[in-house]
Structure 1
């Protein structure tokens, strides 16, 4: 009886105790909570496959998880791989050792031998053979700070980025994995088969293969061209570039500077803007303009916005300005050398009475003056050579070694692509064209015209549409003027149709010569003599020993020579039958003595070098 009661009481007390314990457990159980996405993204999970896992409690608040062998961790979409790892649950920091690999959402992959990772900040510090790649370029560096949130890698102890054949190095850098941009700082050196770059700061995109410059940068390409710039970009894929900040380019013997440049190496076309200066050290020419276009493949140049070309020489440089200046290869003006080439500049106008009208034969000129009709010069002045008698004086671009005759009689074919015996390119295979408002200035000679053509082959300026040439107080006009130079100095002058020369003595006092054609000759760049041909007329003021005007010679002759002394008109010699009148100075007012079409155009004359820059 007693045994039964004891047993029943034990069962009752045990049941009550269990129920009470169950109630306590339930009362102490944690309440259900909602975990945010941000919290879950900060949690580091240990993935299956770890060979060894230990829990080490160092104090009441710190416990360490030690993992070894095939370690795999995950935080959000970022995966960590390593040989071994220690996780500090209190500081939320883990350290990884050996063959560390971070896979950041498949956007970036980072490799190293050591990793220190801050779970809350999601910042990784890597050391030992660090490598970062975004699938395009590969960064290697001794140490790297990588922000998983922003996907930005920072190195400060030197780094190298390799993208295909392009290699970039610097002391510091910022790698933007999302944007595939790398910002290089301090001692930046970029090498590529096509070019090399040295600068202090550079932004490079591994996907577009574009380099952007934000400070002084020195670029050298495979052709030897160097670029100095402060801003701009270089697109390796599309072979396009822009340089700013008063860039400077040295291309062979050519030096260029401008506020900005734009290049397309695939087409060979470039553009320069703002205070453009192009110096050719071989040809000794300088071009200054507001805007210049160049085509390196065709070797052409177009200068606009107040262009100025300076042809340098020792004592008397030539300044040329116009609305537009264009330069190209002379051979590009002609068809292939196996084809008959017509140079209409070689042929005088058909209405020139001094030229035979025979288009089937080589142009010949006849001298209408017989030998016995030539008047001897009593003052023993140097006789003029009749330039129209010589065939070569009528031919443009006619060096003897470049001209050959075709089977068609008299047809001239130009071999403008011919090289010299050393195999070098012919530097004279160029021409210059100037359009609208052409002005030419040198100390010894000035000229204006609507347009101009200059050939380096024969060193001749061709002025068209109301051209005017001045030499001291002498003015020459005509429909077309050819100015031949030698060693960059005036040598010969041809004036075709409506030729007129005016020599100013005093206000309203002008010596004048008018003819169909004129040929002038220079010595040391100064005018020496002029021959007037075809219906020549003159008004010449005769002076006595005291330089006082005594009479006026108004005459006509088919051929006359005008001589100069000290750059001033000295005398006129008539070489054929002459008719005219010598007027006493008292019978004529100087203002009355004017030949038809007389004009004194001093207002159009360039007065100084400074004026050419305006």
Structure 2
């Protein structure tokens, strides 16, 4: 009897010891062990022979390095599946998962969790109602809506997969990201919980707190540095500014935006479009630089202005004056007035008839004019890039030889937010085209405050059959149409009568006026000379008038030179048409530059 009692006690303690050490042995060789502290356990055999091991109280299990905790647990030794109930917790190294219910396949090492599921890795927190977790690959998947919180950012999606080894979460279907500064909606997105980088791989809509909207299909965004790189065709709408490009790099910390590949910048406030293969923009200073075949379009209802050059730069006038307070910055306060009204005799009274003057023009003109903001063309691209990035425009200015230098007061510290507080510059191979007027030059400065195009170094302006040249040309516009033209030093006006025949006027200074986009009248002052082919009512040539004067006025009719009026110190000769060949009748400095003239807007795209 005593031996039988000892044998039964031996069997009882052996079963208890085995239960504490080994609950289930799997094909993978990873046993499932009961942790110390598990309070109650019992065995139950079902009618089909299935053996169940039931644990209750404070339950703890371990398989490899993964620990499981719950209030109660049932293990099926045949199916090698255990079910856990109440306060379920999976501790898998840095991954912590919680739920109300767990079904775990011990051989496949796959967990199915439902009801109040939460997963955290210390950086992000996933909440859903159903989650599948693969212990072997450290992969968690939800397929019926989930929510992921990363700091103040929250991402929701219908499906999501968490890869612990990669520290990535792959969101799919109805993906939405919300944080204090951004709203994002897409169909697929990958987020790295360690680097905090977001990769967008399909059509995506982004809106920030300032109202800026981004549409893209492929991008990488770094939440630490706030830098975004868009590698597919992307559109950014920021108030009245739209940017489009094949590749865009955006740095929120510095406000620098770089656009490459068929880049487009549309400024609806200014009515300006820029096309280029590379555009840099500084959102803080509201400046931008365009290179690689840039083209600017100043939109108008019927006659838009197209400007092409090697480099285009635009910024705020207030910023330009702030960083260059001693420069001669153009300002509408110093805008020159009209021309002098000097009476005189009409030396062509017998030909053109009557006396005339420019008194009908409003105001007078003196020698004080706008100081030209001519840019320094050395190291243009490098200087312009530095300007965009440092907020210090890298432009210098020089006054025209015939202009008095003016000192412009620096504006208030806070820049004026108005549509006229802008300028743009063009460098190298400047070409301008509109249906009514064309121009070329080496560099250009334009101020939206006074609406004046300032052309430097060998500039040429054409209007129909008329060509104007000089050292420096100012083209004044009104309502984006040509209104006045002002030429400084070596001014020359040539008007083509027919092929090889040109009416010519030259002087030190030239002031011209337009009407409905067509040149209407011109005043030349200082060593004025003219070469004028006289015609009868049938347009037959009758003579050639070669005359000099202090002041010379020219009248046009429908864009053709119609009358020349000389004032003060007039000297001249009228040559019979048969005594002179038209090719011989050229004033010094004459040149017909039709080969440089843009023939259509499409030339500027090349």
Question: Which interval holds the TM-score relative to the shorter structure?
Answer: 0.7 to 0.9
Specify the SS of the correspondent of 2:84: strand
- Determine the structure 1 residue equivalent to 2:308: 321
> 1:119-130 counterparts in 2 under 5 A?
119-130=106-117
- Deviation string 1:262-281 (CA, Å, 9 cap, x unpaired) is 10010010101111111111
Distance 1:188 1:211 in 2: 13
Is 1:482 the counterpart of 2:474 in the alignment?
yes
CA distance in 2, matches of 1:150, 1:266: 37
Q: Bigger radius of gyration, 1 or 2?
A: 1
Deviation at 1:289, TM superposition (A): 0.7
* TM-aligned CA distance change 1:609 to 1:173, over 3 Å: same
1:123-164: CA deviations, max 9, x gaps? 000111111111110000000000001111011110000111
Q: Within 1, Cα distance between the matches of 2:193 and 2:141?
A: 16
Q: Does 1:73 align with 2:81?
A: no
Shift of 1:313: 1.1
Secondary structure at the aligned position of 2:595 is classed as: helix
SS of corresponding position for 1:606:
coil
Displacement of 1:179 in angstroms is: 2.2
Measured against aligned partners, the alpha-carbon deviations of 1:51-83 in whole angstroms (never above 9, x if no partner) come to 211011225753111000100000000000000
Change (3 A) 1:556 1:492: same
Distance 1:596 1:411, change over 3 A: closer
Structure 1 432/180 Cα, relative in aligned 2: closer, same or farther at 3 Å?
A: same
Structure 1 residues 289 and 364, CA gap change in structure 2 (3 angstroms):
closer
1:530 aligns with 2:522: yes
**Which residue in 1 is equivalent to 2:105?**
118
Say whether the 8 Å CA contact 1:275–1:288 is kept in structure 2: yes
Match of 2:328 among 318, 339, 343: 343
Superposition pairs of residues 294-313 of structure 1, within 5 angstroms? 294-313=281-300
Any stretches of 5+ residues in structure 1 without a counterpart? 1-36, 347-361, 398-409
**Residue 611 of structure 1 corresponds to which residue in structure 2?**
603
Q: Who is 1:82 aligned against?
A: 70
TM norm structure 1: 0.84
Deviations 1:520-547 (A, max 9, x none): 1111221111111111111100001110
Question: What SS does the corresponding residue of 1:611 show, helix, strand or coil?
Answer: helix
CA apart distance, 1:92: 1.1
How far is the alpha carbon of 1:332 from its aligned partner? 2.3
Indicate the SS of the match to 2:302: coil
Q: Structure 1 residue aligned with 2:365, among 380, 389, 408? A: 389
CA shift in 2, pair 1:41/1:390, >3 Å: farther
Q: Tell me, what secondary structure is at the counterpart of 2:418?
A: coil
Matched with 1:349 is none
Contact 1:166 1:193 in 2 (8 A): yes
Where does residue 597 of structure 1 map in the other structure? 589
Indicate yes or no: 2:151 matched with 1:164: yes
Equivalent of residue 454 in structure 1, options 446, 453, 457: 446
- Equivalent-residue separation in structure 2 for 1:38 and 1:597 (angstroms): 100
Aligned to 2:558: 566
Bigger mean CA offset, 185-194 vs 367-376: 367-376
Cα–Cα, structure 1 residues 415 and 314, in superposed 2: closer, same or farther, change >3 Å? farther
1:334 match: secondary structure:
helix
User: 1:378 aligned to 2:354?
Assistant: yes
Q: Name the SS for the 2:136 alignment partner.
A: coil
Q: 1:463 to 1:241 in 2, by over 3 A?
A: same
Cα deviation 1:280-336 (Å, max 9, x = unaligned) = 111111111111000111221000111110101111110000000001111222247
- CA contact under 8 A between 1:418 and 1:426: conserved in structure 2? no
Q: Please give the residue correspondences for 1:13-52 in structure 2 after superposition, counting only pairs within 5 Å.
A: 42-52=30-40
Q: 1:501 — aligned with what?
A: 493
SS at match of 1:320: strand
- Tell me how many residue pairs correspond in the alignment: 546
Query: More relative contact order in 1 or in 2 (CA 8 Å, sep 6+)?
Result: 2
Partner Cα separation in structure 2 for residue 248 and residue 183 of structure 1: 24
Q: How much has 1:388 moved relative to structure 2? A: 6.0
472, 481, 484: which is aligned to 2:464?
472
CA–CA distance in structure 1, aligned partners of residues 33 and 127 of structure 2: 28
Q: Return the match for 1:103 from 87, 91, 95.
A: 91
Q: 3-state DSSP class of the match of 2:293?
A: coil
SS in 2 for 1:42: coil
Q: Cα distance, 1:371 vs. partner?
A: 5.1
The reply on whether 1:136 has 2:123 as its aligned counterpart is yes
Matched-pair contact (CA < 8 Å) for 1:330–1:416: no
Change (3 A) 1:344 1:428: closer
Offset of 1:390 from its aligned partner? 4.6
Q: Where in structure 2 are the equivalents of 1:365-444 lying within 5 Å?
A: 378=354, 383=359, 385=361, 389-390=365-366, 394=370, 413-414=408-409, 416=411, 425-444=417-436
Q: Is the 8 A contact 1:387 1:519 kept in 2?
A: no
Match of 2:80 among 76, 85, 92: 92
The farther-off stretch of 40-49 and 171-180 is 40-49
Please state whether the residue corresponding to 2:602 is helix, strand or coil: helix
**Secondary structure at 1:331 match in 2:** helix
Could you tell me which residue of structure 2 aligns to residue 4 of structure 1? Answer: none
Report the CA distance shift for 1:467/1:196 in structure 2 as closer, same or farther (over 3 A).
same
Q: RMSD across aligned C-alpha pairs, in angstroms?
A: 2.8
The residue aligned with 2:5 is none
Query: Contact 2:163–2:169 at 8 Å: present in 1 too?
Result: yes
Answer whether contact 1:474 1:502 (CA < 8 A) is retained: yes
Q: 1:364, 1:79 → 2: CA distance?
A: 85
Distance of aligned partners of 1:413 and 1:322 in 2 relative to their CA distance in 1, 3 Å threshold: closer
CA distance in 2, matches of 1:161, 1:462: 57
| Other-structure match for 2:397 | none
Which position in structure 2 is the counterpart of 1:261? 248
Q: Distance in 1 between matches of 2:48 and 2:570?
A: 132
**Relative to structure 1, is the Cα distance of residues 43 and 597 closer, same or farther in structure 2, using a 3 angstrom cutoff?**
same
The one of 428, 437, 448 equivalent to 1:445 is 437
